[in-house]
Structure 1
Amino acid sequence: MKKLAWLMSLVVILPLILAACSKEAAAPAVSTTVKIGILKNVTHAPGFIALHNNYFQQGFGKQVKIEVTAFDNGADFATAIATNQIDLGYVGPGPVINQYLKSKNIRVISGANHGGAVLVTRKDAGIHEVKDLVGKTVAVPAKGGTPDLSLRLLLKQEGLKITNDATGVQIVTRAPADTLVAMRQKEVDATLTPEPWGTQMIQEGTAEILVDWNKIPPKNGNYPLTILVASDKFISEHRDLVKKAIKANKQGIDFIGQNPTKAYELISDELKQLTGKGMEPALIKAAIDHLKLTEDIALEDINEQAKASFDAGYIKGVKAEELDFSKFLDLSLLNEVNKEK
C-alpha cells in the first residue's frame, strides 16, 4: 500500500518537476553589458588583440554585450572607472594610483606589459648624454603619467634639477603626435615617450635615442607601463566576468608572442576601428620589441611609481608614510585563473 502511494505521488510530482525544468531552460539568460576602456596607444596591444580576436566575448558568453571606449589619456580613463562609466580596462599606473587615493574603488587585477618608453633627443639639439638636458625642454605625454615619472626618476639619478628656466631641465606636456611636430619645428629638445613615437621620430631623421627602453627607470625598463584594472563595483557584482577578462588579457599576450607578424596587422586594424587610423606594422613591431609583455605585477612596482608621483607633488593630502596600496593590487583573481589552467 505504501509502495502504491509512493508511486502515485511520483506520477503527480514528476510532471511538475519536468515543467519547471523546461521553463528554466527556456528562460533567457540575464543580459549584462561590460564597458571596457582602453587607451589609443600601441603599448595596450594585449587589449587590442583580446578585443579583435573576441577573447573577451568568448569568455563572457553571448548573453554579454561589450561596449568599448577609447581614451586619449589616463586621467580621463581613471575618472571614468572611478565613476562607473566603465567597468574595467587598460591604463598606465600613474593616473589610477592618484585616483585610487581619492576614491579607493579601483583594483589592479593583472599586468599587461612592462617598459616600452624611450628618451629621444632632437638631432641638432647638442644633447649627447643626460646631463646635457640642463637648459633644455623635454616633453612628456601627460603630467603624472608613467613617462613623466620615469623622466623625473632619471633626472634625479643624474642629479639634475627640474626648473622653469635654463638652470635646470624644463618639462612640458604634449600629446605624442604633437611632440612629433614640435620636434620637427624645434620647439622641444627631447621627449620621453611611449613607443612607437620614438622610433617614428628616429626613422624620419628628426631624433636619435639618448636612453633606450631597457635603461629607463625604474628597474631599467622592467616597470609596469600598462595594467589591467577593474572597479570595485564590477568585481563584487561580476567576479566571474573579471576572471574571464584576466584570461582574455593572457590570451592576447600569448597570441602576440606566438604570432607576432599577424599580431601587428590585427593591432593596426583595431587601432583603425577605435581611432579611424591604423599604423604601419613596422612601427607596431618597434613598439612591441621595446617592451615586455607580461601579466606579472608586484606591489613594489606600484609603490615605486607612487613614491615618484608623491615626490613630484602629484599626490597631495597624505603623508609619505600613509601611502598604502596593499588593497589597490588584488592578485586573488589572477591567481585563481592561473590555478584553473
Structure 2
Amino acid sequence: MKKSKVSLLIGILILSLVVITACSTASVDKEIDTVSVGYFPNLSHAPAMVGIEEGFFAEELEGLNLDTMHFPNGSLFMDALSTGQIDIGYVGPGPMINRYLQGGDVVLLSNASVGENVLVMRNDVEYNGVEDLHGKIIATASTGCTHDLLLRKMLQVEGMAVEENGGTVQRVAQRPATNVGMLQQKQLHGALVSEPWASIMEAEGVGRVVVDATEVPWDGNVPATVLVARRSFAEENPEIVEKFLKGHEQAINYLNENEEASIEIIRNQIKEITDQDIAPEIFETSLARVFYRSEIDKDVLQEFADLSKDLGFINGDASLENLFWLE
C-alpha cells in the first residue's frame, strides 16, 4: 500500500514537471484578440498612418482587432507601453533608449524614418550659429526626447548647455502642435521640432528653418522614429510581431512609391487627431526632410545612448546590445 502511494506521488510529480516544462517552452503565440498600437501625429510616424489606413496591418493580423492610441510625446508613449496600454508602436529613439537603459520592458523591432528634425527660429530673432541660442527660450517636445537630445548635442559641440545642465539656454517642453501660437505670442525664440510642424511655422510666417534635417548632429542619420514593442509581448507573441513587421515594410514601400496618396492619408490622419487642417503643399515641403527606411544603424543608436548617459538621463551601463529583436 505504501509502495503504491509512493509510486502515485512520483507519477504526479513527473506529470507536473512535464506540464510546467511544456508551458515554459511553448512557442505558440499567447491567446489574444486585440493588438494595441501607439503613434504620434508626426510625419515621421507615417508608416503607422499608412499601415492602418491602407489595411496593411489588418491584412497581416487577420482575425485580430487593432486598437490605436495617439501620443504627444515619447515619455507618455513609453509609459503606456510599460503599463500594457499599448503593445507595439512608433516612437523616437531618445525615449526608447532612456527607458531601455532604465530597465524598461522594450525591444527595438525596426527603423521607420530618419531626418525630419530641424531647428526653427522666430523670424525676428537673429541666428548666425548655435552661439546665438545663448539666453534664448527653445522648445522641444519633452525632456529627454529625440529633439531634446539633438538640441543638447548641438549645444555640447559648441561648449554650451541648457539651463538644466548648467548652461544659458532655457529649454521648455511644448507640444509641437502648439509651437506656432507660442512663436506668434513671442513666448518662444525657437524650437527643435519635427515635420510637418516646421513647414507650418514657415508657411505661417512666424519662423524659419535655420538648421536643416541633414545639418543636425550625425548629419540627420539619427532615426526620427523607430518601431518598438513591449519585450514581454514580443516574446509571448513572436508570430504577431513578425506579421506586424511585414505590414510595416509594406507601409514604408507605399510611402516611397506613392507620395501624393501618402500625403492625403497623413493629412487626414493629422486633421483627425489634432484638428489641424494642413495644406497639401506643406507636406510636399516636409517630405523633402523625411526619409522612410527600415534598416537600423546600430552605431548611431549607440552613440545616441552614450550621449544620453553623458547628459545624465541614465546611470550605469549604456550598452544597447540586448535591445534589438533577433527573430
The TM-score range, normalised by the shorter chain, is: 0.7 to 0.9
Secondary structure at the aligned position of 1:183 is classed as helix
| Match of residue 136 from structure 1 | 136
1:232-251 Cα shifts (integer Å, max 9, x gaps):
22212221111111111111
| Match of residue 93 from structure 2 | 93
CA contact (8 A) 1:82 1:103 kept: no
Choose the corresponding residue for 2:319, options 299, 319, 324: 324
Secondary structure at the aligned position of 2:214 is classed as helix
Distance in structure 2 (CA, Å) of the matches to 1:92 and 1:177: 17
| Match of residue 194 from structure 1 | 194
Distance in structure 2 (CA, Å) of the matches to 1:78 and 1:260: 30
| Match of residue 222 from structure 1 | 221
CA contact (8 A) 1:31 1:65 kept: no
1:192-246 Cα shifts (integer Å, max 9, x gaps):
10011111111222112211111011x1101111000011222122211111111
| Match of residue 35 from structure 2 | 34
Distance in structure 2 (CA, Å) of the matches to 1:185 and 1:236: 49
CA contact (8 A) 1:82 1:99 kept: no
| Match of residue 10 from structure 2 | none
| Match of residue 79 from structure 2 | 79
Matched-pair identity in %: 32
Is 1:314 the counterpart of 2:318 in the alignment?
no
CA contact (8 A) 1:299 1:329 kept: no
Is 1:256 the counterpart of 2:255 in the alignment?
yes
Distance in structure 2 (CA, Å) of the matches to 1:273 and 1:53: 16
Note closer, same or farther for the CA distance 1:70–1:109 as it changes in structure 2 (3 Å cut): same
Distance in structure 2 (CA, Å) of the matches to 1:310 and 1:237: 31
Secondary structure at the aligned position of 2:102 is classed as helix
1:201-280 to 2 correspondence within 5 Å?
Answer: 201-217=201-217, 219-280=218-279
Instruction: Mark the runs of 5 or more structure 1 residues left unpaired by the alignment.
Output: 1-29, 334-341
State which drifts further: 122-131 or 191-200.
122-131
Which structure: larger Rg? Answer: 1
Distance in structure 1 (CA, Å) of the matches to 2:165 and 2:251: 45
Distance in structure 1 (CA, Å) of the matches to 2:215 and 2:73: 24
CA contact (8 A) 2:134 2:169 kept: yes
Relative to the length of structure 2, the TM-score reads 0.85
Distance in structure 1 (CA, Å) of the matches to 2:272 and 2:165: 42
1:104-127 Cα shifts (integer Å, max 9, x gaps):
421000000011011111111122
Note closer, same or farther for the CA distance 1:71–1:149 as it changes in structure 2 (3 Å cut): same
| Match of residue 118 from structure 2 | 118
Instruction: Mark the runs of 5 or more structure 2 residues left unpaired by the alignment.
Output: 1-30
CA contact (8 A) 2:107 2:324 kept: yes
**Cα deviation, residue 253, structure 1:** 0.9
Is 1:48 the counterpart of 2:49 in the alignment?
yes
Count matched residues: 297
| Match of residue 295 from structure 1 | 294
Secondary structure at the aligned position of 2:308 is classed as helix
Structure 1: 4+ residue segments shifted above 6 A = 164-167
CA contact (8 A) 2:82 2:105 kept: yes
| Match of residue 180 from structure 2 | 180
Letter in 2 for 1:323: A
CA contact (8 A) 2:165 2:311 kept: no
State which drifts further: 151-160 or 97-106.
97-106
CA contact (8 A) 1:87 1:234 kept: yes
Secondary structure at the aligned position of 1:214 is classed as coil
| Match of residue 171 from structure 2 | 171
Distance in structure 2 (CA, Å) of the matches to 1:214 and 1:239: 35
CA contact (8 A) 1:136 1:166 kept: no
1:118-155 Cα shifts (integer Å, max 9, x gaps):
11111111222222111222111111000110011111
Secondary structure at the aligned position of 1:264 is classed as helix
Relative to the length of structure 1, the TM-score reads 0.82
Distance in structure 1 (CA, Å) of the matches to 2:295 and 2:145: 20
Distance in structure 2 (CA, Å) of the matches to 1:122 and 1:182: 10
| Match of residue 7 from structure 2 | none
**Cα deviation, residue 99, structure 1:** 1.7
CA contact (8 A) 2:81 2:88 kept: yes
RMSD: 2.0
Distance in structure 2 (CA, Å) of the matches to 1:113 and 1:191: 20
**Cα deviation, residue 173, structure 1:** 1.6
**Cα deviation, residue 166, structure 1:** 12
Distance in structure 2 (CA, Å) of the matches to 1:233 and 1:167: 40
Secondary structure at the aligned position of 2:319 is classed as coil
Distance in structure 1 (CA, Å) of the matches to 2:301 and 2:92: 11
